[in-house]
Amino acid sequence: MASQSLFFLHVLAIFSLTSLAFSASLSPYYYYRICPKALPTIKRVVEDAVRQERRMGASLLRLHFHDCFVNGCDASILLDQTATIDSEKTALANNNSARGFEVIDRIKSEVDKACGRPIVSCADILAVAARDSVVALGGPSWRVPLGRRDSTTASRAQANNDIPSPFMDLPSLINNFKNQGLNQKDLVALSGGHTLGFAQCFTFRDRIYNDTKNIDSNFARQRQSSCPRSGGDSNRAPLDPTPAFFDSKYFSNLVAKKGLLRSDQALFSGGQTGNLVNTYSANRWIFSKDFANSMIKMGNIKPLTGSRGQIRVNCRKVN
Ligand code: HEM
Ligand SMILES: *[C@@H]1O[C@H](CO)[C@@H](O)[C@H](O)[C@H]1NC(C)=O
Ligand SMILES: *[C@@H]1O[C@H](CO)[C@@H](O)[C@H](O)[C@H]1NC(C)=O
**pLDDT for residue 11 is more than 90:** no
Determine the Cα–Cα distance for residues 110 and 42; give it in Å rounded to an integer.
8
Under the banding of pLDDT at 50, 70 and 90, the label for residue 200 is very high
The residue contributing the CA closest to ligand 2 atom 13 is 90
Under the banding of pLDDT at 50, 70 and 90, the label for residue 24 is low
The per-residue pLDDT for 308 is 96
Determine the Cα–Cα distance for residues 115 and 205; give it in Å rounded to an integer.
47
**pLDDT for residue 15 is more than 80:** no
Distance 196 CA to ligand 3 centre (A): 28
Specify the amino acid at residue 23: S
The per-residue pLDDT for 12 is 43
Under the banding of pLDDT at 50, 70 and 90, the label for residue 25 is confident
Contact 239, 223 (CB under 8 A): no
Instruction: Concatenate the DSSP letters of all residues of 138-186 into one string.
Output: T----PPPB--BB-S---HHHHHHHSPPTT--HHHHHHHHHTTT--HHH
Residue 95 Cβ < 6 Å to ligand 2:
yes
**pLDDT for residue 96 is more than 50:** yes
Contact 136, 46 (CB under 8 A): yes
Of 280, 211, 213, residue with least CA distance to 246 = 280
User: What sign has the CA pseudo-torsion 69, 74, 77, 83?
Assistant: negative
The pLDDT tens digits for 234-268 are 999 999 999 999 999 999 999 999 999 999 999 99
Ligand nearest to the CA of 93: 1
Of 131, 112, 137, residue with least CA distance to 122 = 112
The per-residue pLDDT for 3 is 40
The pLDDT tens digits for 98-129 are 999 999 999 999 999 999 999 999 999 999 99
Which CATH number does 37-162 carry? 1.10.520.10
Which CATH number does 170-299 carry? 1.10.420.10
The mean of the pLDDT values for the chain is 94
Domain boundaries, the chain: 37-162, 170-299
Contact 69, 301 (CB under 8 A): yes
Task: Give the torsion through C-alpha atoms of 85, 149, 91, 105, to 10 deg.
Answer: -90
Ligand nearest to the CA of 94: 1
Determine the Cα–Cα distance for residues 128 and 104; give it in Å rounded to an integer.
11
From the CB of residue 196, how many other CB atoms can be counted at a distance below 10 Å?
29
The residue contributing the CA closest to ligand 1 atom 24 is 191
Contact 146, 126 (CB under 8 A): no
